[in-house]
Protein backbone atom coordinates (compact mmCIF):
# COMPACT_ATOMS: atom_id res chain seq x y z
CA UNK A 1 0.00 0.00 0.00
CA UNK A 2 1.15 3.53 -0.74
CA UNK A 3 1.83 4.68 2.79
CA UNK A 4 4.23 1.78 3.41
CA UNK A 5 6.99 3.49 1.44
CA UNK A 6 6.23 7.12 2.28
CA UNK A 7 9.03 7.38 4.83
CA UNK A 8 11.44 4.69 3.75
CA UNK A 9 12.17 6.60 0.55
CA UNK A 10 12.82 9.85 2.39
CA UNK A 11 16.13 11.02 3.80
CA UNK A 12 16.52 13.39 6.70
CA UNK A 13 17.17 16.98 5.63
CA UNK A 14 19.25 18.44 8.44
CA UNK A 15 18.44 22.02 7.44
CA UNK A 16 14.68 21.39 7.16
CA UNK A 17 13.74 18.08 8.84
CA UNK A 18 10.33 16.60 8.08
CA UNK A 19 8.58 16.34 11.49
CA UNK A 20 6.72 13.18 10.48
CA UNK A 21 9.88 11.50 9.20
CA UNK A 22 11.60 12.29 12.50
CA UNK A 23 8.69 10.76 14.43
CA UNK A 24 8.83 7.70 12.19
CA UNK A 25 12.56 7.28 12.85
CA UNK A 26 12.01 7.63 16.61
CA UNK A 27 11.53 4.29 18.38
CA UNK A 28 10.60 5.46 21.88
CA UNK A 29 7.00 4.21 21.63
CA UNK A 30 6.13 0.53 21.15
CA UNK A 31 3.86 0.81 18.11
CA UNK A 32 3.38 -1.55 15.17
CA UNK A 33 5.52 -0.25 12.31
CA UNK A 34 2.88 -0.40 9.59
CA UNK A 35 0.32 1.31 11.82
CA UNK A 36 2.88 4.01 12.61
CA UNK A 37 3.48 4.61 8.92
CA UNK A 38 -0.24 4.81 8.27
CA UNK A 39 -0.80 7.32 11.08
CA UNK A 40 2.10 9.58 10.09
CA UNK A 41 1.29 9.36 6.38
CA UNK A 42 -2.17 10.73 7.17
CA UNK A 43 -0.63 13.59 9.13
CA UNK A 44 1.57 14.44 6.15
CA UNK A 45 -1.38 15.25 3.84
CA UNK A 46 -2.91 18.43 2.46
CA UNK A 47 -6.31 17.51 3.94
CA UNK A 48 -4.95 17.59 7.48
CA UNK A 49 -3.03 20.81 6.87
CA UNK A 50 -5.81 22.69 5.07
CA UNK A 51 -9.14 21.05 5.90
CA UNK A 52 -8.70 20.11 9.55
CA UNK A 53 -8.33 23.73 10.82
CA UNK A 54 -11.59 24.56 9.01
CA UNK A 55 -13.47 21.40 9.88
CA UNK A 56 -12.71 21.23 13.62
CA UNK A 57 -14.44 24.48 14.76
CA UNK A 58 -17.40 23.81 12.45
CA UNK A 59 -17.71 20.27 13.78
CA UNK A 60 -17.68 21.45 17.38
CA UNK A 61 -20.30 24.10 16.61
CA UNK A 62 -22.40 21.38 14.96
CA UNK A 63 -22.20 19.26 18.12
CA UNK A 64 -23.54 22.16 20.18
CA UNK A 65 -26.38 22.76 17.72
CA UNK A 66 -27.31 19.07 17.62
CA UNK A 67 -27.37 18.84 21.41
CA UNK A 68 -29.60 21.90 21.58
CA UNK A 69 -31.84 20.28 18.98
CA UNK A 70 -31.96 17.18 21.16
CA UNK A 71 -33.78 19.24 23.78
CA UNK A 72 -36.68 19.64 21.38
CA UNK A 73 -36.97 16.21 19.74
CA UNK A 74 -37.93 12.92 21.43
CA UNK A 75 -35.08 10.79 22.78
CA UNK A 76 -36.35 7.82 20.78
CA UNK A 77 -35.48 9.57 17.50
CA UNK A 78 -32.13 8.00 16.80
CA UNK A 79 -30.77 5.37 14.44
CA UNK A 80 -27.55 3.41 14.78
CA UNK A 81 -28.46 1.79 11.45
CA UNK A 82 -28.31 5.14 9.63
CA UNK A 83 -25.16 6.16 11.52
CA UNK A 84 -23.19 3.08 10.54
CA UNK A 85 -24.25 3.24 6.91
CA UNK A 86 -23.31 6.91 6.74
CA UNK A 87 -19.90 6.09 8.23
CA UNK A 88 -19.41 3.18 5.84
CA UNK A 89 -20.35 5.27 2.81
CA UNK A 90 -17.97 8.04 3.81
CA UNK A 91 -15.08 5.69 4.58
CA UNK A 92 -15.52 3.83 1.32
CA UNK A 93 -15.59 6.84 -1.00
CA UNK A 94 -13.85 9.74 0.76
CA UNK A 95 -11.31 8.48 3.32
CA UNK A 96 -7.75 7.39 2.61
CA UNK A 97 -6.70 3.76 2.79
CA UNK A 98 -4.23 4.41 5.64
CA UNK A 99 -7.04 5.86 7.76
CA UNK A 100 -9.40 2.96 7.00
CA UNK A 101 -6.61 0.52 7.83
CA UNK A 102 -6.17 2.09 11.28
CA UNK A 103 -9.93 2.05 11.93
CA UNK A 104 -10.31 -1.63 11.03
CA UNK A 105 -7.17 -2.49 12.98
CA UNK A 106 -8.46 -0.67 16.08
CA UNK A 107 -11.40 -3.01 16.62
CA UNK A 108 -9.16 -6.08 16.31
CA UNK A 109 -6.72 -4.59 18.80
CA UNK A 110 -9.52 -3.75 21.25
CA UNK A 111 -10.74 -7.33 21.16
CA UNK A 112 -7.23 -8.65 21.85
CA UNK A 113 -6.58 -6.28 24.76
CA UNK A 114 -9.77 -7.32 26.54
CA UNK A 115 -9.01 -10.97 25.80
CA UNK A 116 -5.51 -10.63 27.26
CA UNK A 117 -6.98 -9.26 30.51
CA UNK A 118 -9.60 -12.00 30.72
CA UNK A 119 -7.03 -14.72 30.02
CA UNK A 120 -4.70 -13.55 32.77
CA UNK A 121 -7.13 -12.52 35.50
CA UNK A 122 -8.47 -16.08 35.59
CA UNK A 123 -11.56 -17.34 37.37
CA UNK A 124 -13.92 -14.97 35.56
CA UNK A 125 -16.49 -15.57 32.83
CA UNK A 126 -17.24 -12.48 30.78
CA UNK A 127 -20.51 -13.03 28.90
CA UNK A 128 -21.55 -9.50 27.91
CA UNK A 129 -18.92 -8.66 25.29
CA UNK A 130 -18.91 -9.36 21.58
CA UNK A 131 -15.51 -9.90 19.92
CA UNK A 132 -15.03 -7.60 16.93
CA UNK A 133 -12.83 -8.77 14.03
CA UNK A 134 -13.71 -6.61 11.01
CA UNK A 135 -11.57 -7.31 7.93
CA UNK A 136 -13.21 -4.96 5.42
CA UNK A 137 -15.33 -1.84 5.54
CA UNK A 138 -18.56 -3.77 5.01
CA UNK A 139 -17.96 -5.51 8.35
CA UNK A 140 -18.48 -2.17 10.11
CA UNK A 141 -22.15 -2.05 9.14
CA UNK A 142 -23.23 -4.36 11.97
CA UNK A 143 -23.24 -1.63 14.68
CA UNK A 144 -19.49 -2.13 15.13
CA UNK A 145 -18.74 1.35 16.49
CA UNK A 146 -21.57 1.20 19.03
CA UNK A 147 -20.71 -2.35 20.12
CA UNK A 148 -17.07 -1.36 20.61
CA UNK A 149 -18.08 1.21 23.24
CA UNK A 150 -20.51 -1.19 24.91
CA UNK A 151 -17.83 -3.89 25.06
CA UNK A 152 -15.52 -1.66 27.10
CA UNK A 153 -18.19 -0.68 29.64
CA UNK A 154 -19.62 -4.19 29.92
CA UNK A 155 -16.20 -5.80 30.27
CA UNK A 156 -15.10 -3.45 33.05
CA UNK A 157 -18.45 -3.72 34.83
CA UNK A 158 -18.73 -7.50 34.66
CA UNK A 159 -15.09 -8.10 35.55
CA UNK A 160 -15.33 -5.75 38.54
CA UNK A 161 -18.54 -7.37 39.81
CA UNK A 162 -17.12 -10.87 39.59
CA UNK A 163 -13.88 -9.92 41.32
CA UNK A 164 -15.86 -8.17 44.09
CA UNK A 165 -18.06 -11.26 44.53
CA UNK A 166 -14.93 -13.39 44.81
CA UNK A 167 -13.34 -10.97 47.27
CA UNK A 168 -10.16 -10.46 45.28
CA UNK A 169 -8.25 -7.92 43.24
CA UNK A 170 -6.34 -8.22 39.99
CA UNK A 171 -2.98 -9.82 40.73
CA UNK A 172 -0.05 -10.84 38.52
CA UNK A 173 -0.60 -14.45 37.41
CA UNK A 174 1.98 -17.15 38.02
CA UNK A 175 2.53 -17.26 34.25
CA UNK A 176 1.46 -14.69 31.68
CA UNK A 177 -0.63 -15.82 28.71
CA UNK A 178 0.10 -13.68 25.63
CA UNK A 179 -1.78 -15.93 23.22
CA UNK A 180 -4.48 -13.28 22.65
CA UNK A 181 -1.93 -10.79 21.27
CA UNK A 182 -1.25 -11.11 17.54
CA UNK A 183 2.41 -10.83 16.61
CA UNK A 184 2.15 -9.51 13.08
CA UNK A 185 -0.30 -7.67 10.88
CA UNK A 186 -4.01 -8.30 10.46
CA UNK A 187 -5.45 -9.38 7.10
CA UNK A 188 -7.41 -6.22 6.28
CA UNK A 189 -8.97 -4.72 3.15
CA UNK A 190 -9.14 -0.97 3.84
CA UNK A 191 -10.32 0.21 0.42
CA UNK A 192 -9.48 3.84 -0.30
CA UNK A 193 -9.06 3.22 -4.04
CA UNK A 194 -11.24 6.05 -5.37
CA UNK A 195 -9.99 9.40 -6.64
CA UNK A 196 -12.19 10.97 -3.96
CA UNK A 197 -10.46 9.04 -1.14
CA UNK A 198 -8.48 12.03 0.14
CA UNK A 199 -9.49 12.61 3.77
CA UNK A 200 -6.98 11.85 6.50
CA UNK A 201 -8.02 10.07 9.69
CA UNK A 202 -8.15 13.09 11.98
CA UNK A 203 -10.23 15.21 9.61
CA UNK A 204 -12.60 12.29 8.99
CA UNK A 205 -13.08 11.76 12.74
CA UNK A 206 -13.90 15.44 13.28
CA UNK A 207 -16.47 15.25 10.48
CA UNK A 208 -18.07 12.10 11.86
CA UNK A 209 -18.34 13.22 15.49
CA UNK A 210 -21.38 15.49 14.87
CA UNK A 211 -23.02 12.54 13.08
CA UNK A 212 -22.64 10.54 16.28
CA UNK A 213 -24.44 13.31 18.13
CA UNK A 214 -27.17 13.44 15.48
CA UNK A 215 -27.89 9.76 14.88
CA UNK A 216 -27.31 8.42 18.41
CA UNK A 217 -29.48 9.34 21.35
CA UNK A 218 -28.05 12.01 23.62
CA UNK A 219 -27.43 9.35 26.28
CA UNK A 220 -25.60 7.07 23.83
CA UNK A 221 -23.45 9.94 22.56
CA UNK A 222 -22.39 11.00 26.04
CA UNK A 223 -21.65 7.39 26.97
CA UNK A 224 -19.54 6.88 23.83
CA UNK A 225 -17.63 10.11 24.46
CA UNK A 226 -16.92 9.27 28.10
CA UNK A 227 -15.74 5.76 27.20
CA UNK A 228 -12.58 7.26 25.71
CA UNK A 229 -11.18 8.03 29.16
CA UNK A 230 -11.48 4.36 30.12
CA UNK A 231 -8.10 3.88 28.45
CA UNK A 232 -6.66 4.62 31.89
CA UNK A 233 -8.72 1.84 33.48
CA UNK A 234 -7.67 -0.74 30.90
CA UNK A 235 -4.01 0.27 31.29
CA UNK A 236 -4.25 -0.07 35.08
CA UNK A 237 -5.60 -3.62 34.68
CA UNK A 238 -2.76 -4.51 32.32
CA UNK A 239 -0.18 -2.90 34.61
CA UNK A 240 -1.42 -4.96 37.57
CA UNK A 241 -1.24 -8.17 35.56
CA UNK A 242 2.30 -7.37 34.42
CA UNK A 243 3.30 -6.01 37.84
CA UNK A 244 4.71 -3.12 35.83
CA UNK A 245 3.56 0.55 35.92
CA UNK A 246 4.81 1.20 32.38
CA UNK A 247 1.42 0.45 30.82
CA UNK A 248 -0.24 3.33 32.68
CA UNK A 249 2.46 5.77 31.58
CA UNK A 250 1.78 4.94 27.92
CA UNK A 251 -1.83 6.21 27.77
CA UNK A 252 -3.09 9.79 27.50
CA UNK A 253 -6.89 9.45 27.96
CA UNK A 254 -7.23 9.48 31.74
CA UNK A 255 -9.44 10.33 34.72
CA UNK A 256 -12.81 8.89 33.61
CA UNK A 257 -14.48 10.13 36.80
CA UNK A 258 -13.82 13.70 35.65
CA UNK A 259 -15.17 13.54 32.09
CA UNK A 260 -14.37 16.00 29.33
CA UNK A 261 -17.15 17.61 27.34
CA UNK A 262 -18.26 16.05 24.08
CA UNK A 263 -16.72 18.96 22.17
CA UNK A 264 -13.30 17.32 22.57
CA UNK A 265 -14.46 13.87 21.49
CA UNK A 266 -12.83 13.99 18.05
CA UNK A 267 -9.36 14.78 19.37
CA UNK A 268 -9.65 12.30 22.24
CA UNK A 269 -10.78 9.62 19.79
CA UNK A 270 -7.44 10.06 18.04
CA UNK A 271 -5.70 9.67 21.39
CA UNK A 272 -7.81 6.59 22.12
CA UNK A 273 -6.63 4.95 18.91
CA UNK A 274 -3.00 5.77 19.70
CA UNK A 275 -3.37 4.54 23.31
CA UNK A 276 -4.71 1.19 22.09
CA UNK A 277 -1.93 0.84 19.52
CA UNK A 278 0.76 1.56 22.10
CA UNK A 279 -0.67 -0.81 24.72
CA UNK A 280 -0.99 -3.56 22.14
CA UNK A 281 2.53 -2.84 20.88
CA UNK A 282 3.92 -2.99 24.42
CA UNK A 283 2.32 -6.39 25.02
CA UNK A 284 3.61 -7.59 21.66
CA UNK A 285 7.14 -6.57 22.63
CA UNK A 286 6.86 -8.43 25.92
CA UNK A 287 5.59 -11.48 24.08
CA UNK A 288 8.58 -11.34 21.74
CA UNK A 289 10.93 -10.87 24.69
CA UNK A 290 9.95 -14.23 26.11
CA UNK A 291 7.51 -13.26 28.83
CA UNK A 292 5.08 -15.90 27.52
CA UNK A 293 5.16 -18.85 29.86
CA UNK A 294 2.01 -20.73 28.92
CA UNK A 295 2.44 -24.46 29.33
CA UNK A 296 -0.20 -25.52 26.85
CA UNK A 297 -0.64 -24.58 23.19
CA UNK A 298 -2.89 -21.49 22.80
CA UNK A 299 -6.41 -22.12 21.63
CA UNK A 300 -7.48 -20.87 18.18
CA UNK A 301 -8.51 -17.21 18.12
CA UNK A 302 -12.15 -18.08 17.45
CA UNK A 303 -12.30 -20.36 20.47
CA UNK A 304 -10.62 -17.83 22.76
CA UNK A 305 -12.98 -15.07 21.72
CA UNK A 306 -16.00 -17.31 22.18
CA UNK A 307 -14.77 -17.95 25.72
CA UNK A 308 -14.93 -14.23 26.51
CA UNK A 309 -18.35 -13.77 24.93
CA UNK A 310 -20.08 -16.95 26.08
CA UNK A 311 -18.21 -18.41 29.07
pLDDT of residue 291: 54
Mean residue pLDDT across the chain: 90
Low-confidence ranges of the chain (pLDDT < 50): 1, 292-300, 303, 310-311
pLDDT of residue 18: 86
What is the dihedral sign for C-alpha 266, 267, 272, 277? positive
pLDDT single digits (tens) 81-130: 999 999 999 999 999 999 999 999 999 999 999 999 999 999 999 999 99
pLDDT of residue 2: 58
pLDDT of residue 269: 96
pLDDT of residue 72: 86
pLDDT of residue 73: 82
pLDDT of residue 54: 96
Amino acid sequence: MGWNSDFEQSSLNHTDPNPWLVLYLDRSLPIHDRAKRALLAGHNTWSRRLLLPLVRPLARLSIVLVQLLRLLIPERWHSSWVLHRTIYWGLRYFVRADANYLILRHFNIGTELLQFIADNVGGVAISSTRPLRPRKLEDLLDDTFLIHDLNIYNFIGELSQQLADQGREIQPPASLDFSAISDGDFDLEPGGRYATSVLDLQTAIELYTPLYALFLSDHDFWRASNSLQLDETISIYIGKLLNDPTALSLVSNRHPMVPHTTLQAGFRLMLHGLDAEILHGYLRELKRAGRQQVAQEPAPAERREQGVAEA
